Chains A and B, each alone.
Chain A
Amino acid sequence: MDWNSIFVTTVKASIGLETVVYALAAIGLNVQFGYAGLLNFGQAAFLGVAAYGLAVTVATFQLPFWLGIVIGLAATVVLAFLLGIPTLRLRADYLAIVTIAAAEIVRLIFRAVKFKDVFGGSDGLQSFSGDFYAMNPYAPGSYGIGSITFTERTMWVLTVGWILVALSCALVYLLMKSPWGRVLKAIREDEDAVRSLGKNVFSYKMQALVLGGIIGCLGGFVFALGQASVQPDLYGTEFTFYAYTIVILGGAARVFSPVVGAAIFWVLLVFIGNTLAEAVGSGVIPSSIMTVSQAGSVRFMLVGLGLMLLLIFRPQGIFGDKREIALDAR
């Protein structure tokens, strides 16, 4: 096996595009689920409407890039209200079902042949990222240390992405230190108690849903720009499930845990994928046991297994405090 190339891919994966996207999605989810206890199973839709908001504005309607960003943000807020108003007064599991349904609706509409002119059907949309790369301060070339290098385009996306991650973390840090965060954590535990103390629980839940959605939507922008395309099926329910895995892996209700969780998650996924593929390719694992394409599914089996084991044996994840989170499987 080529350990050097495995090492290089792994390091690149730990700071690469997917890690940034998952980190942003998970930071948002951590606000909703980790701190406020909201079961948002539609985080993928928040990324999706942001990405499509941008792509449709620029690619379909030929409008300016920044307007696209504004529309993406607005679409996210609208989605949060659409989901929140009917469900935030109801039991927690209702929000789960409504958000998962809404995410599926959003995806099906994006990929519908009926709206192909607007959303591009299952091919999605391209050619909307020109303005973004025109702002690239990095001169063409290759940047990096040793054999870990990125193109100037990737450098630009990653720079913007990691700045957004840092800003989001700072925002969450400030909020969760404040009385605002205290109300949120209290709601996670018992909303009736909080209501009896004169707090407008519905409003706080809505704020959390919107904030988490907006942080997630930044991930949607980064994903769309990094890939220079949007595709409906990337915003499926499994994306949300992976974001949950990340939040729980890092430890719910901790500021930096989604970031570390995202890096570990993606690195493991890439590492296991590469190692298995290498092992199968070089015949270490005979093809009677596993083919290369089967190796791909093993990774995701391990994600599922990992999620179960985490919750059973270490629900507080890497950084969480067992006494403080709502997840304890005891």
Chain B
Amino acid sequence: MRRAVIAFTAFLGGLVLLLSSPAWADGEALKGTLQNQGQPVNGVKISVTTQDGKPVAEVTSGADGKWQVPVPKAGEYKVTLDQKTLPSGVALKFKDKDTLTVQVYEGSQRNVLFALGAAGQQGNGPASSDSSFWNRVAQLTFEGFNLGLIIALAAMGLSLIFGTTGLTNFAHGELLTLGAMSAYFFNVVLGIQLIPATVIAVIVGGAFGYLQDRFFWGKLRQRGSSLLAMMIISIGLALFLRYLFLFLFGGESAAYTDYNAQAGIQVGPISAAPKNFIAMGIELAVLLIVGLALLKTRTGKAARAVADNPALAASSGINVDRVIRIIWTAGGAVAALAGVMLGLSQNVGYQMGFQILLLVFAGVTLGGLGTAFGALVGSIVVGLFIQLSTLVVPTELKTVGALLVLILVMLFRPQGILGRRERIG
């Protein structure tokens, strides 16, 4: 697990960090966060010089691994990490990359990423023997499932909302962020242990889903808003919420208080922190419960019926509005849980939901828009594909592979894995 968690964290963390500095923020600066296997690395000396070698400043990374150097103006700077100051057991992944030349644009804070790894295993990636190749496959499959399950949690809600209301909800990712951030608030700010904090976050998520439908989407449906209008409204809502999170939380990503520094355990070929196994267990359990609820309970059957054909369901006496409200509530709660899980495997940041939204879309479309179980299958395929693709493509491009597959599926099986075609005439 560790390796991929690093990779995954570095990748997503890098995305978060880079994106979190919009080109129009004020005060040029260089900054970064040093992390080794998800843990902050402090006390490392970083020096910044101008392109022609004039020193600008020298800092050491803080307890949270962060460092920041304000620079006088936009331009090119050289950032050097002093390898001698790295704690023992930690080294640069690429020994020769201790000096990076970066461009700082006007008004922007530039993030600089130094890739760290355990000493002795840095460098040249999968130059490994046969058995370790299969270990890697096993490891990546595990991680793929983990990611796929998180995506699936979000995708079931998104898919059912699409099926019942026709809404392509671009603000669904923010439900995840909300969950992760509520848990962060209760856990880090109020000091509640993460498990009860998660429970509260899930309740908050459910309540938010309920309220959204009750006072927003429901009202819009009553007015007869077109689906296109609602889709763009959801983009507006997503923007609003995302920047509200930025306002409240700040641009840096952060970790929960608990389960931070767990030593990895080895299960067969797979090594991961215990929290990952437990998270996966929770995800599986929740998906199972949701699945059973859809199959066995009255409301669940009604939900699927409505997703299948709202008009028919309505005429056969199902209270469509009630079903939709339940879907929103449950969808919000499950998405909040997915957010916490995502925050646990990477970190909590205001962009996390937005970034995973595309993968959720990929899962949902792959499975066939509007079918709950299709979304489940599609999401797991996406998760597996993303992780396993790192066997052949660089980690930074693994999302590219998944998105390409999405496009190819559109080409050959537009109705998705479990979907059906539309009617004409």
Q: Which residues of A contact B (CB under 8 A)?
A: 39, 85-87, 90-94, 96-98, 100-102, 104-105, 108-109, 111-114, 122-124, 126, 192, 229, 231, 233-234, 236, 238, 241, 244-245, 248, 273, 277, 290, 292-294, 296-301, 303-308, 310-312, 315, 326-330
Which residues in A have their C-beta under 8 angstroms from that of B165? none
B240 within 8 A of A: yes
Apart from the given pairs A305-B240, A306-B236, 4 other A-B contacts in the complex at a CB distance below 8 Å = A86-B410, A114-B396, A296-B26, A330-B226
A97 with B406: CB separation less than 8 A:
yes
A307 with B229: CB separation less than 8 A:
no
B243 with A297: CB separation less than 8 A:
yes
Chain A: minimal CB distance from B252 (Å): 11
Which residues in B have their C-beta under 8 angstroms from that of A307? 232-233, 235-236, 239
Chain A: minimal CB distance from B48 (Å): 15
**Contact check: which of A94, A100, A231 meets B105 at CB < 8 Å?**
A231
Write the chain A residue with the least CB distance to B406.
Answer: A101
Given contacts A108-B396, A114-B396, contact A296 B22 (CB under 8 A): yes
Write the chain A residue with the least CB distance to B101.
Answer: A123
Chain B: minimal CB distance from A90 (Å): 5
**Contact check: which of A86, A96, A109 meets B407 at CB < 8 Å?**
A86
A304 with B224: CB separation less than 8 A:
no
Contact with A along B222-262 (1 / 0, CB 8 A): 01111011111101111111111011001100000000000
Binds A, one of B63-71, B182-190, B268-276, B361-369: B361-369
Which residues in B have their C-beta under 8 angstroms from that of A233? 18-19, 23
B404 with A94: CB separation less than 8 A:
no
When chains A and B are docked, how far (Å) is the Cα of A96 from the Cα of B369?
Answer: 13
B5 within 8 A of A: no
Given contacts A101-B362, A303-B239, contact A297 B247 (CB under 8 A): yes
B24 with A273: CB separation less than 8 A:
yes
B404 with A105: CB separation less than 8 A:
yes
Chain A: minimal CB distance from B108 (Å): 9
When chains A and B are docked, how far (Å) is the Cα of A126 from the Cα of B75?
Answer: 11
B400 with A108: CB separation less than 8 A:
yes
Given contacts A233-B19, A296-B26, contact A86 B236 (CB under 8 A): no
A308 with B403: CB separation less than 8 A:
no
Which residues in B have their C-beta under 8 angstroms from that of A306? 236
Q: Which residues of B contact A (CB under 8 A)?
A: 18-19, 22-26, 101-103, 105, 168, 220, 223-226, 228-233, 235-244, 246-247, 250-251, 358, 361-362, 365, 369, 394, 396-397, 399-400, 403-404, 406-408, 410-411, 414, 422, 424-425
Chain A: minimal CB distance from B273 (Å): 27
Which residues in A have their C-beta under 8 angstroms from that of B404? 105
A327 with B236: CB separation less than 8 A:
no
A315 with B400: CB separation less than 8 A:
no
A329 with B220: CB separation less than 8 A:
yes
Write the chain A residue with the least CB distance to B107.
Answer: A296
A105 with B246: CB separation less than 8 A:
no
Main DSSP-derived SS at the B contact region: helix
Which residues in B have their C-beta under 8 angstroms from that of A104? 358, 399, 403
A244 with B400: CB separation less than 8 A:
no
B406 with A327: CB separation less than 8 A:
no
CB contacts between A and B, total, < 8 Å = 171
When chains A and B are docked, how far (Å) is the Cα of A308 from the Cα of B244?
Answer: 15
Chain A: minimal CB distance from B22 (Å): 7
Given contacts A108-B396, A108-B399, contact A238 B406 (CB under 8 A): no
**Contact check: which of B250, B362, B400, B414 meets A90 at CB < 8 Å?**
B414
Which residues in A have their C-beta under 8 angstroms from that of B408? 86
Which residues in B have their C-beta under 8 angstroms from that of A328? 226, 229
Chain A: minimal CB distance from B43 (Å): 26
B394 with A113: CB separation less than 8 A:
yes
A101 with B407: CB separation less than 8 A:
yes
Closest 10 CB pairs of A and B: A304-B240, A304-B239, A307-B236, A308-B236, A329-B225, A329-B229, A300-B243, A101-B403, A86-B411, A297-B246
A96 with B358: CB separation less than 8 A:
no
**Contact check: which of B228, B230, B241, B243 meets A326 at CB < 8 Å?**
B228
Given contacts A93-B168, A112-B394, A114-B394, contact A308 B237 (CB under 8 A): yes
B358 with A102: CB separation less than 8 A:
no
When chains A and B are docked, how far (Å) is the Cα of A100 from the Cα of B424?
Answer: 27
B414 with A311: CB separation less than 8 A:
no
Write the chain B residue with the least CB distance to A87.
Answer: B410
Chain B: minimal CB distance from A288 (Å): 14
When chains A and B are docked, how far (Å) is the Cα of A307 from the Cα of B236?
Answer: 5
Given contacts A97-B361, A100-B361, A312-B233, contact A124 B247 (CB under 8 A): no
B232 with A248: CB separation less than 8 A:
yes
Which residues in A have their C-beta under 8 angstroms from that of B233? 307-308, 311-312, 329
B400 with A311: CB separation less than 8 A:
no
**Most chain B Cβ neighbours within 10 Å, of A192, A245, A290, A304:** A304
B247 with A294: CB separation less than 8 A:
yes
A326 with B226: CB separation less than 8 A:
yes
Which residues in B have their C-beta under 8 angstroms from that of A244? 232, 235
B229 with A293: CB separation less than 8 A:
no
Which residues in A have their C-beta under 8 angstroms from that of B250? 293
When chains A and B are docked, how far (Å) is the Cα of A241 from the Cα of B361?
Answer: 17
Which residues in B have their C-beta under 8 angstroms from that of A109? 397, 400
Write the chain B residue with the least CB distance to A277.
Answer: B26
Write the chain B residue with the least CB distance to A125.
Answer: B103
A304 with B358: CB separation less than 8 A:
no
Which residues in A have their C-beta under 8 angstroms from that of B101? 123
A330 with B223: CB separation less than 8 A:
yes
When chains A and B are docked, how far (Å) is the Cα of A235 from the Cα of B232?
Answer: 19
A112 with B397: CB separation less than 8 A:
yes
A301 with B403: CB separation less than 8 A:
no
When chains A and B are docked, how far (Å) is the Cα of A192 from the Cα of B422?
Answer: 13
Write the chain B residue with the least CB distance to A326.
Answer: B228
Which residues in A have their C-beta under 8 angstroms from that of B224? 329-330
When chains A and B are docked, how far (Å) is the Cα of A299 from the Cα of B22?
Answer: 12
B411 with A304: CB separation less than 8 A:
no
Which residues in A have their C-beta under 8 angstroms from that of B26? 277, 292-293, 296
